[in-house]
């Protein structure tokens, strides 16, 4: 596959999605992408018709799901996302930028919810078909700062799970970043600094 796959990961409130939007505009003008390649910006869940239906349900604070049910729903959404959106674009030589991928499931359902990590990793391989990102940007922010960025009325089902839950998720992301060689982005810095770090990570990975 000639295309390139970029992923943004991090706890809720890290500013990840805002930086993904900035990156979506910058990357096609950066000179890093080859002629003819297009950038597809997507997200999980929500990058497919299935994901659009699952997204409000999975984030609904009024819904109670067993942790294993939640894990399987995210895995199903990812399998559909990979097979119908990500892989076809990469195979055509285009670039894909995804707001969240399999790392989020390891962090949230594995470390956060306490699902068996062996099961989580096995489902990760099934759902992704072994696909791994060329670059993962990890937006590192302490849980207290992240939670302070949203009022209780703005919190979804994961943000409303409590500070201890967010700390476990943050620990999971940190562990994954070390194991998988993710690029750390200092998400607590001013926006311009964060954006510069994102662009520098892309240049160091993709510049000839």
Per residue in 94-104, pLDDT (tens digit) is: 999 999 999 99
Name every residue whose Cβ is closer than 8 Å to that of residue 106 and which is 6 or more positions away in sequence.
117, 120, 121, 124, 172, 176
Assess whether pLDDT exceeds 90 at residue 113.
yes
Q: Which tokens in the block code for residue 6? A: 């970029």
| CATH class, range 5-206 | alpha beta
Per residue in 172-186, pLDDT (tens digit) is: 999 999 999 999 999
pLDDT of residue 153: 62
Across 80-89, average pLDDT? 97
**ω before 144 within 30° of 0 (cis)?**
no
pLDDT of residue 152: 66
pLDDT of residue 1: 58
| Predicted confidence band of residue 147 (pLDDT cuts 50, 70, 90) | confident
Across 101-117, average pLDDT? 97
Mean predicted lDDT score pLDDT of the chain:
93
Per residue in 6-38, pLDDT (tens digit) is: 999 999 989 999 999 999 999 999 999 999 999
pLDDT of residue 72: 95
Q: Specify the pTM.
A: 0.93
Assess whether pLDDT exceeds 70 at residue 203.
yes
């Amino acid at each position: 596959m000639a295309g390139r796959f970029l992923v943004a990961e991090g706890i809720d409130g890290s500013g990840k999605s805002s930086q993904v939007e900035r990156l979506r505009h910058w990357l096609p003008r950066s000179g890093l992408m080859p002629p003819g390649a297009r950038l597809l910006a997507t997200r999980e869940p929500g990058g497919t018709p299935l994901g659009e239906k699952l997204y409000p349900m999975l984030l609904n604070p009024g819904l109670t799901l067993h942790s294993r049910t939640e894990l399987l729903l995210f895995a199903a959404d990812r399998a559909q996302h990979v097979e119908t959106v990500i892989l076809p674009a990469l195979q055509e030589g285009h670039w894909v930028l995804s707001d969240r991928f399999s790392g989020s499931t390891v962090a949230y359902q594995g470390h956060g919810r306490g699902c068996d990590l062996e099961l989580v990793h096995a489902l990760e391989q099934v759902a992704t078909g072994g696909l791994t990102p060329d670059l993962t940007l990890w937006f590192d922010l302490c849980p207290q700062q992240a939670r302070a960025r949203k009022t209780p009325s703005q919190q979804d089902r994961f943000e409303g799970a409590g500070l201890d839950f967010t700390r476990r998720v943050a620990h999971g992301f940190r562990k994954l970043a070390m194991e998988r060689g993710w690029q750390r982005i200092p998400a607590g810095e001013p926006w311009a600094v964060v954006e510069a770090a994102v662009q520098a990570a892309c240049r160091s990975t993709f510049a000839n």
